[in-house]
Amino acid sequence: MVGSASHRVNQNAQEIAAGIATAPDTRAALTIYFTYLISEKRASPRTIESYARDLTRFSEFLTDHLAGEPTVENLMGLSVADFRAFLAARRNDGLSPRSLARNLSCLKSFFRHMERTDIGANHAINRLRTPKTPHSIPKPVNVTTARALVNEAGTTSEIPWVAARNSAIITLLYGCGLRVSEALSLNRNIFPFGSSLRIVGKGNKERIVPILPIVTDAVNDYVEKCPIALAADGPLFVGVRGKRLGSREVQKLMVTLRAQLGLPSTATPHALRHSFATHLLSAGGDLRSIQELLGHASLSTTQVYTEVDAERLRNIYDKAHPRSRKR
């Protein structure tokens, strides 16, 4: 059984590496790297996809830059100027500082892994500084808007079971602070929920999330109305063809809700997760508990919500305090 799983991981890694046009020895190094990401790092499918895309662009750049598909020897001979030329090309492609930072992080990870596995070492990449990204804080919706989204979601389709499904998803995202991918990866056999739900999040990290009665009621309404036979080991949330619902459909749902409620483009599915955290913090929740509920590996990731709450308090002060009013 273990051998079979290991074989599947290796086969998956080979397929990903095969999609990157490069020299045979570099492709072999990529296969080892993606095997590591999948089996040891336990990276999410989304991370794997992003890294594969970044490394594809890097290989395409080097093929043009070096006038041939890059070999491992070529990779080890790259200079700081070569890496900077790649980042400059990606910047000219319109990449944001955040995306450039992710590109560089991916490359550093790949080169570190090649060094650890004795494939080769190139320390030039370590001399590159990560592009500065503008400091941003989450943009949650307020409590009134969150309630409106939950209430309005049930009016977004003329098909009763689809409307119930939409309502269940929005209620689940806001009521439990789930990532969209986490909600859509749930299988039918986890329902009825009980008082809590075990979520497998980023990096296959598990956490326990309490379930509110309103969430259970919304999902139950959807399950009862859904005309599609939901297999126990199949998806909980499905589309009209019975396939697992994709994140694109949830994005479209939020576009519809934004139009119906007159909300800005910052009201995204992920904003519901931000809202969950911010509203808990405003109600007196402590950061450690919120960190656990969100599944953040580091407390510093959760601490950004204190900035949101501080900004909210400043706005209240500016509007209400007599001294803050312009004369």
Q: Is the pLDDT of residue 178 over 60?
A: yes
Fold held by 143-273: hpI Integrase; Chain A (1.10.443)
Kindly list the domain boundaries of the chain, sorted by start residue: 2-127, 143-273
Residues that are catalytic: 179, 202, 270, 273, 296, 305
Averaged pLDDT of the chain = 86
- How, if at all, do strands 196-200 and 206-210 pair? antiparallel
Q: Given the structure tokens 């919120």, which residue do they identify?
A: 290
- Rounded to an integer, the average pLDDT of 67-76 is 96
6-44 in b/e form (b: 16+ CB < 10 A) is: eeebbebbbebbeebebbebbbebbbbbbbbbbbebebb
The upper half-sphere exposure of residue 53, i.e. CA atoms within 13 Å in the direction of its Cβ, equals: 11
- Rounded to an integer, the average pLDDT of 149-176 is 94
Q: Per residue in 279-301, pLDDT tens?
A: 887 777 776 777 777 776 776 66
Cα 191–chain centre separation: 24
Q: Is the pLDDT of residue 317 over 80?
A: no
Select the more confidently predicted residue: 248 or 313: 248
Q: Is the pLDDT of residue 37 over 70?
A: yes
Share of residues in the chain with pLDDT > 90 (%):
57
- Rounded to an integer, the average pLDDT of 205-228 is 91
> Distance between CA atoms of 232 and 200, rounded to whole angstroms?
18
